Amino acid sequence: MKRFIETLRNIWKIEDLKARILTTLGLLLIYRLGSRVVLPGIDPSQLAALKDQSAGGILGLLDMFSGGAFSNASIFALGIMPYISASIVIQLLGMAVPYFQRLQREGESGRRKMNQITRYLTLIILLLQGPSYLANLHAQLPASAFVISGSFFTITSIVILASGTMFVMWLGERITDKGIGNGISIIIMVGIIAKLPSALWVEFLSRLNEQGGGLVMFIVEMLALAGVVTLTILLIQGTRKIPVQYAKRIVGNKQYGGVRQYIPLKVNASGVMPIIFAQAIMFLPIILVGFAESDTATGVAAALADPTGFWYNLLSAFLIVVFTYFYTAIIINPTQMAEDMKKNGGFIPGVKPGRKTVEFLDTVMSRITLPGSVFLALVAIMPAFAMIAGVETSFAYFYGGTSLLIMVGVVLDTLQQIESHLLMRHYDGLMKSGRIKGGRGAI
């Protein structure tokens, strides 16, 4: 406790870090207040049916990602997922379309152009999702809930919903530039955490009302949740160290032996991005058929709208494995690593420099990525097993899955940035021993 208080004092002494943290908290407060602002023309007291619809299923996940804005008929109801969907499309185009490949090679200017294209595509998606969300409102709410109706309400609401998501994007960019951590990731995390207290309270009450051992089961659930969190942290921070021997150094007339160092290759180098992108794709069937038809969907749409279903979890796990390899290939460049070692006079013992080193690094990354991606997929589908075991739906989402992985990854990444500020100014870090390893929670 004493060390924690001392760390807070050190953070407060660093003016730049203090300003960044306060800026982040202020912008997040604006986001949370906005998620409570109901669309003009809707009676807030008649949203019970909408809240019931988003209490479980795929719409429950969507509501969690928006921090409850979906069930509140808020101006931020569409959340940040349209931007994530647009980002997926642009990233995939960067692999297949020469124009986008050229932009990726242009450095900062190319990145700005791709960001601008992503924003335009986000706006197009919003203009398509807006009418679908309004149709869902008309299907779920009684006619008396709409103070204003007709074309005027539809057009203005679509504009407000689109503007709300674009404003959330702007808040995320401001957090990234002026605050601490990655803004979009933190906004998603805050929306998820906002649902945790109510979900925990509902689960506690349900167990309390049970006859015979309800509180014992609640304690068991808490222990299981702590175990899943621990495993998730180990997954995000796990590394495989590759020894690198550097050439002998001559200082003055004395010759010193080689310097041995290690390259830490992360078991999960892609962080939470595979989870977020896989989840965005899993939302597509409901978005395409319309929110209003989610309860009555049949066939493929129904199978992919059931978070406890076999096909939903199988496809989700498969997408996570694929996206883990995809993002690892983007983040880790064995050729560049081999060239950097060669320039600095380094080599991996027993491996020839050049092409052999590239092949060795590529093989190691493939081998450690496979178990990492499989374990990531298993953690992602654990909420389904929790629901089957009788855990309340809203609380089961925190037993692994997208919510837990995003929270752990983003928290570790943000704490790592805070620790870097402390160590840069010669203060003690956040941990008593060792340094925090980030989870690459950036989007």
In a domain, 437, yes or no: no
In a domain, 435, yes or no: no
In a domain, 429, yes or no: no
CA dist list (Å): 51 to 69, 71, 239, 279: 10, 5, 42, 21
335: phi then psi, degrees, rounded to nearest 5: -65, -45
Residue from 62, 97, 96 nearest 82 by CA = 62
Q: How confident is the model at residue 171 (pLDDT cuts 50, 70, 90)?
A: very high
Token digits of residue 270? 């892609």
Residues in Cβ contact with 250 at an 8 Å cutoff, skipping those fewer than 6 apart: 256
Domain housing 399: 2-424
CA distance 123 to 108: 23
In a domain, 440, yes or no: no
Token digits of residue 349? 């013992």
242 touches 361 (CB < 8 A): yes
What is the reported pTM?
Answer: 0.76
Mean pLDDT of the region 359-379: 84
Helix (H, G, I), strand (E, B), or coil: what is residue 272? coil
CA distance 360 to 363: 5
> pLDDT value at position 431?
57
Element (H, E) at 303: helix 299-303
Question: Residue 270 gets which letter from DSSP?
Answer: T
Q: What is the pLDDT of residues 381-434, one digit of tens each?
A: 888 888 887 787 777 777 766 677 778 878 877 887 787 777 776 655 555 555
244: phi then psi, degrees, rounded to nearest 5: -130, 125
In a domain, 342, yes or no: yes
Element (H, E) at 243: strand 239-246
Q: How confident is the model at residue 442 (pLDDT cuts 50, 70, 90)?
A: very low
In a domain, 24, yes or no: yes
CA angle 89, 59, 276 (to 5 degrees): 35
CATH classification of the domain holding 307: 1.10.3370.10
Which of residues 245 and 377 earns the better pLDDT score? 377
> pLDDT value at position 295?
56
In a domain, 66, yes or no: yes
Tell me the torsion sign for CA atoms 173, 319, 197, 145.
Answer: positive
Residue type, 408: V
- Give percent above pLDDT 90 in the chain: 8
In a domain, 213, yes or no: yes
**What is the number of other CB atoms lying within 10 angstroms of the CB of residue 194?**
17
**What is the number of other CB atoms lying within 10 angstroms of the CB of residue 417?**
16
Mean pLDDT of the region 250-263: 58
Q: Ranked by mean pLDDT, which of 5-14, 151-160, 312-321 comes out on top?
A: 151-160
Residue type, 29: L
Q: What is the pLDDT of residues 77-111, one digit of tens each?
A: 888 888 888 888 887 787 778 888 888 778 788 88
Structural domains in the chain (count) = 1
